[in-house]
Structure 1
Amino acid sequence: MKQTVQNIKFCPPPTDNERSFFVDHVRIPPNEQITFHQHEALEISYIIVGSGNRVIGNTMEPFSHGEVVFIPSNVPHCWSFDDFDTWPDGTIENITIFFSPQLLENAYLNFPELRSCILKIQQIRDAVVIAESTITKVQVLMKAMMAETEIEKFSTLLRIFSLISSEQQKNVVGRPVAEDRNTKRIQRAYSFVINNFQKEITLNEVAQHVGMDKSSFCTFFKKMTGKTFFTFLTEYRVESCGQMLKKTSLSVSEICNATGFNDVPYFNRVFRKIKQVTPTQFREGKSVKSTVNLL
């Protein structure tokens, strides 16, 4: 059972007065991953084992193991991990580097050699996934930090900064969102989908969760996302089906039932309409990537 996200949590990173950055390496069950949150620290997150769907700012996308994402200050985010893509002991694994804006500012002011690199990092306002041209190097460096001293880690962090700042094009995977009443409501609706998409969902249930009546919620959701709630729900279920088709040996009918469709012919029609291929063709590699913008 995945955790319920009631709201965006302002979560201070695990740093202290003696450190300007912190490296967190965890192996935990999928449902213990922190829920939707944001913090002042900048973050570099490397998924070693695990897959599912992530929300960063205004964007929901599927993710797979191996990706490295850079997240600027105060961009809300969470990773919702699949239960079927884990180590044999049922855990997922990731490494996250947290560092303060002051680290960048101090480096820029005190080390002329770093100014060009640091300025480029400071100018990144959106969450970005590290490009294929540099991702392997970043992965190796982040893993190496696990056996390094604090001074060695700092040197490695500067090398990672250099790699990120050298990328010419940034693949944006999430943008900041305004923190107002409507934003909080749409995030509550989205969290409800994450936690309940595998079963039947009624408009009354999700409207009540958001704190609105059914009619007002339908109008609100369409205005905020450009699509009806059930269109959004169906697209989310299809994305989850795609992940299961790629990463498990479950049959199409088993995946259909596990993601809330419960009707194989209907599921096949909907999947083909959204992905332009059948579930079987998708499993064979004929896929079409899709991204759901929340706001």
Structure 2
Amino acid sequence: MTNLIAHKNAVFQKLPLTAGSSFIVKRYESPYFETPWHFHEEYELVFCERGFGKKFIGNSFSDYQEGEIAFIGKNIPHLFKADDSFYQAYAQQKPSSIVIQFSEDFLGKDFFNSPEMVTMKKILVLSKNGLLVLGKTHEHIRQIMIEMLEINNIGRLYKLFEIFMLLSNCDELQPISPSIISGININDSVKMNSVLDYTLQHFREDISIAQVAALSHLSASAFCRYFKSRTQKTFLGFVIEMRLNESRRLLRETNLSILEICYECGFKNLSNFNRLFRKQFQQNPMEFRRNQGL
């Protein structure tokens, strides 16, 4: 079990090493991925092996798909929340992920400052925004991560070096979070987690700032300042972003009409939905669906 300590922006997670290991390679299986919004000093490579849902990395909120690989920098708050429908539809198969976690000094404090690791050190800097691993690099790393579960000691270290080489020499990394957000202070992570959980459950409905502020035991104005300081977004802007991401998923995965999707995601009129969708994704909902080949 990991050790979770409450922090101001998220929960600080202390990651235990097993005997004979300097870094962590593990498969996690859970119906919903209950780990709260958290951060840790280790870098993390996450392969979403089975299932789908929502992810928060830094101040980015989006869907994650089965097979996705993300590289998350140290102290970057993040959360993966599996969609309930997967576990309900495949009761014998829990959502799962394979995770590699390593500290910057796991092979000595100067390891990433060595001449051979200069390029990888640049990737570590880029990971402060979170990175999606794409293309052929994604396929190679996915296979390596699966293989690492079956070997240990020197074999795992050798495979980790293979991953470093692939990351260092590829141009298939896509930033996730537009801003760098770091977890820093011990205090009120429960507030932020309650806000995220409530918003995930109710973003399709009318949500008043007063309702959410009450969860945090703050006035409406204090809550707005609190939320902006932790995400660099307004709460209303965050709710709209969640609705737009959900509308994009429904456009891609269902036969619902655009008007039905508009109301299903919590928008009140079609013209406003179309305007916000175009602003976020540089195309209107009809164009998006057409470009998906639907």
TM normalised by structure 2 equals 0.75
Q: What per-residue deviation string (whole Å, max 9, x for no partner) do you get for residues 166-210 of structure 1?
A: 235742213233636999677764454224324432222111123
In 2, the alpha carbon distance for the partners of 1:25 and 1:224 equals 30
Q: Does the CA contact (< 8 Å) of 1:129 and 1:171 recur in 2?
A: yes
Unaligned runs of 5+ in 1: 288-295
Provide the C-alpha distance between the structure 2 equivalents of 1:249 and 1:83, rounded to a whole number of angstroms.
20
Please, which moves more after superposition, 70-79 or 182-191? 182-191
Q: 1:116 to 1:137 in 2, by over 3 A?
A: same
Which stretch has the larger CA shift, 50-59 or 220-229?
220-229
**Of the candidates 153, 163, 168, which is equivalent to residue 165 of structure 1?**
168
CA contact (8 A) 2:43 2:102 kept: yes
Equivalent residue letter for 1:12: K
Are 1:179 and 2:184 an aligned pair? yes
Q: In the alignment, which residue of structure 1 is the partner of 2:273?
A: 271
Distance 1:65 1:216 in 2: 38
Distance (Å, rounded) in 2 between the aligned partners of 1:60 and 1:229: 12
User: What does residue 282 of structure 1 align with?
Assistant: 288
Counterpart AA for 1:247: E
Q: For residue 21 of structure 1, what is the amino acid of its counterpart?
A: F
Out of 187, 194, 199, which is 2:200 matched to? 194
1:247 and 2:247 are equivalent in the alignment: no
Identity %: 26
SS in structure 2 at match of 1:103: coil
Query: Does residue 59 of structure 2 align to residue 83 of structure 1?
Result: no
Decide which moves more: 63-72 or 215-224: 215-224
Please name the residue that 1:48 is paired with. 49
Of 140, 143, 147, the residue aligned with 1:144 is: 147
Cα drift, residue 44 of structure 1: 0.5
Tell me what 1:292 maps to: none
- Deviation string, structure 1 residues 64-117 (Cα, Å, up to 9, x no partner): 2222111122111111232335673363221111123222436828x9785445
- Aligned with 2:243 (options 237, 245, 250): 237
Number of equivalences: 277
Q: Structure 1 residues 153, 221: closer, same or farther in 2, change over 3 A?
A: closer
Q: Determine which of 107, 111, 132 is the counterpart of 1:108.
A: 111
Alpha-carbon offset, residue 62 of structure 1: 2.8
Shift of 1:258: 5.4
For 2:25 and 2:228, locate their aligned partners in 1 and report how far apart those are by CA, in whole Å.
40
Aligned CA distance change for structure 1 residues 231 and 97 (closer, same or farther; 3 Å): closer
Q: Is the 8 A contact 1:49 1:66 kept in 2?
A: yes
Q: 1:14: Cα distance to partner?
A: 4.0
Cα pair 1:6 1:188 within 8 Å, conserved: no
**Following TM superposition, by how much is the alpha carbon of 1:278 offset from its aligned partner in structure 2, in angstroms?**
5.6
Aligned residues: CA RMSD: 3.8
Query: Residue type of the partner of 1:179?
Result: I
Unpaired stretches in structure 2, ≥5 consecutive residues = 1-6
2:4 aligns with: none
Quick one: distance in 1 between partners of 2:118 and 2:238? Answer: 42
Aligned to 1:38: 39
Q: What letter matches 2:56 in structure 1?
A: V
Deviation string 1:218-271 (CA, Å, 9 cap, x unpaired) is: 56657887875334312311212222332345666775665445x6xx2x3343
Judged with a 3 Å threshold, the aligned counterparts in structure 2 of structure 1 residues 258 and 49 are, in CA distance, closer, same or farther, namely farther
Summarize the Cα distance change of 1:15–1:244 in structure 2 as closer, same or farther, 3 Å threshold. Answer: farther
Change (3 A) 1:243 1:216: same
Q: 2:22 is aligned with what amino acid? A: S
